Amino acid sequence: MCPSICGEPCPQSMFCHICAPPKVKNAVVDMIMMTTFEECDPDEAPFIVLACGHAFTFETLDGIMEMAKYYETSLEGSYTRCKQLPSEMWAKAPQCPNCRAPIKVTDVRRYGRPLNKAVLDVTTKKFISKWNARLIAVRKLSGPALVEVSKKKEGLKFGIGYEESSSKREGNERPQKAAARHHLKQLFEQCGISDEDQVMWVTFTAPLEKVHREYSKIQLGCAKSPTKAVYEASVASVERLAKEDELQRGFVGMNIGCGSGSGSIGQPAHPIRETVAMPIPRLDGRLTVESSLGVVEVDLSLFKGISETVMPAAPKAGENALSPRAAWASAAIRILDRSEAGILKLVTLCGEMNLNRKEADLQLLLGNIMCRRLSFCFAHSTDVAGYVMRSGVVIPQLAGRELRIAFAEGVNADVRQRLRAAEGVVPDGYRAVFEKGMNELLATLEEYMKKARLDTFYQAVDQAEKLEIIRAMQSEFHGSGHWYQCPNGHTYTIGECGGAMQSSQCPECGATVGGGGHQLATSNRRDDEFERLIGGR
């Protein structure tokens, strides 16, 4: 009589309970009761012989395989139907209790589900490790890319190609091809940015575009997890079998593998997802959030490039109706729109996956993005009315100072609402760090509100206007002296020899400017851009 269970290969004759050799008879086969092969009755506790040659009772192996997590049992202890696969992963693949040899699904049919789950878990861990290594490598590229971009900004001339008669720049085709593949290509087209400016932009931001491309690859790669592939294949298989069964029988009445018989495929009582007995796969939370956040951070760096490099270089108006600066300002606002939308999706994802610390950080970042929008719109007088309308504050009569105040109040309310939501989920151990960032953000908001009420926002000054200022100073005061900046970056000039002989306060922020004894205050610095314009006139 075979001492094993039905469905498994019959063991060799050496496992006969009567004529087995002493080595087999004395081997422990029940790891719970610590009984030997000779002491166990195969009629009451059948054996399963592993590929390594060690035999164990099925109760012992059922415990090692954690079968209770995979199947529901009757009162008598027999398995009746499948449970959904457990979400926790195997720490390591199941092994023989004696020799630690791996137990493979090809060797023991009874344990197909847990063994296949173990293989899937190992594959998933390798998958996560692979993309995590890619993520770390891309992060290391970000810093050098920003440095390289900052070196390229000198000598850039934007605002080219907006005249109706202009033609595409001839010569080097590589930048033009790169411009056609740039991830902001469609956005730039919608904003009316010329082909020439797009080529200039690609030349300027090529290192950041490479980083963006790598982050995007990680985003796509993380979405193609082994678990998702197995789930989709299982669902497709069940659907195919259900259709075949319908064609053969003329009705839907099939129970696949682990069904209970109480329902059928295609009926609400027994949906395909229950038949598959596998939870819908979810994205790896940390990898998805970090790679998506990397994409947003690159876009924010590109916004900074437009704000600090392109806007000062782009002229305010072309010969036709389109203003190059207006086109670039529109692009900057749309980049912020993309960034806000991306962060909002990540906030939702973090909430679903209980990534509370990251959710709080993202709410802070979202508040900072809103503040950047506020500062940019006030500095460039663009998209302010549109933001007020989108926020639900329909006040078409607003203009000037009133519009600025309404805009600032809308952003202030949005940010504070986000911060209140974040306060409710931030972990206690991270609260001090979060509150520090929150207080800094609120201080920035308060400063913007103050400026809005006092109407002290200023528009960016382009190079031509700076030259006009220098000429006016030289004409009025017979020389412009030298140019400096206060601690907050506000430009001022000291006439005659340009040496500091007295201290004063910056009219914009109240910081100390000037100095004494021809020595500039330590918190002040030379304005290299104005000095360069004087030398290059």
Q: What is the pLDDT of residues 93-130, one digit of tens each?
A: 898 988 999 998 888 888 888 999 999 889 888 998 99
pLDDT band at 327 (very low <50, low <70, confident <90, very high): confident
Poorest-pLDDT segment among 57-71, 260-274, 341-355, 421-435: 260-274
pLDDT band at 159 (very low <50, low <70, confident <90, very high): low
Domain range annotation of the chain: 13-114, 226-276, 369-460, 463-536
Poorest-pLDDT segment among 174-178, 228-232, 350-354: 174-178
pLDDT band at 491 (very low <50, low <70, confident <90, very high): confident
* pLDDT tens figures, 2-26: 777 888 888 888 888 788 888 988 8
Mean pLDDT throughout 490-498? 82
CA distances (Å), origin 152, targets 148, 157, 210: 7, 12, 15
The strand pair at 503-505 and 491-494 is best described as: unpaired
* pLDDT tens figures, 225-253: 888 888 888 888 878 877 777 766 654 44
pLDDT band at 533 (very low <50, low <70, confident <90, very high): confident
- List Cβ neighbours of 481 (8 Å cut-off, separation of 6 or more): 493, 494, 495, 496, 497, 498
Residues 97 and 112: their CA atoms lie apart, in Å, by 18
pLDDT of 182 over the 70 cut: yes
Poorest-pLDDT segment among 153-157, 207-211, 334-338, 387-391: 387-391
pLDDT of 388 over the 60 cut: no
pLDDT of 167 over the 70 cut: no
pLDDT of 436 over the 60 cut: yes
Is residue 313 within 8 A of residue 159, CB to CB? The reply is yes
The angle, 0 to 180 degrees and rounded to 10, between the axes of the packed helices 174-181 and 195-222 is 50
Is residue 27 within 8 A of residue 36, CB to CB? The reply is yes
Residues 65 and 48: their CA atoms lie apart, in Å, by 13
pLDDT of 361 over the 90 cut: yes
Highest mean pLDDT among 314-318, 435-439, 492-496: 435-439
Cα 328 to the center of its chain, rounded Å: 26
pLDDT band at 441 (very low <50, low <70, confident <90, very high): very high
The pLDDT of residue 32 is 82
Mean pLDDT throughout 321-325? 64
The pLDDT of residue 193 is 85
pLDDT of 339 over the 90 cut: yes
pLDDT band at 373 (very low <50, low <70, confident <90, very high): confident
Considering the chain, what is the average pLDDT of its residues?
79
pLDDT band at 460 (very low <50, low <70, confident <90, very high): low
Q: State the Cα angle at 390 between 389 and 395, rounded to 5°.
A: 15
Q: Which residue has the tokens 């085709």?
A: 173
The pLDDT of residue 379 is 77
Q: Which residue has the tokens 């033009």?
A: 176
Is residue 473 within 8 A of residue 513, CB to CB? The reply is no
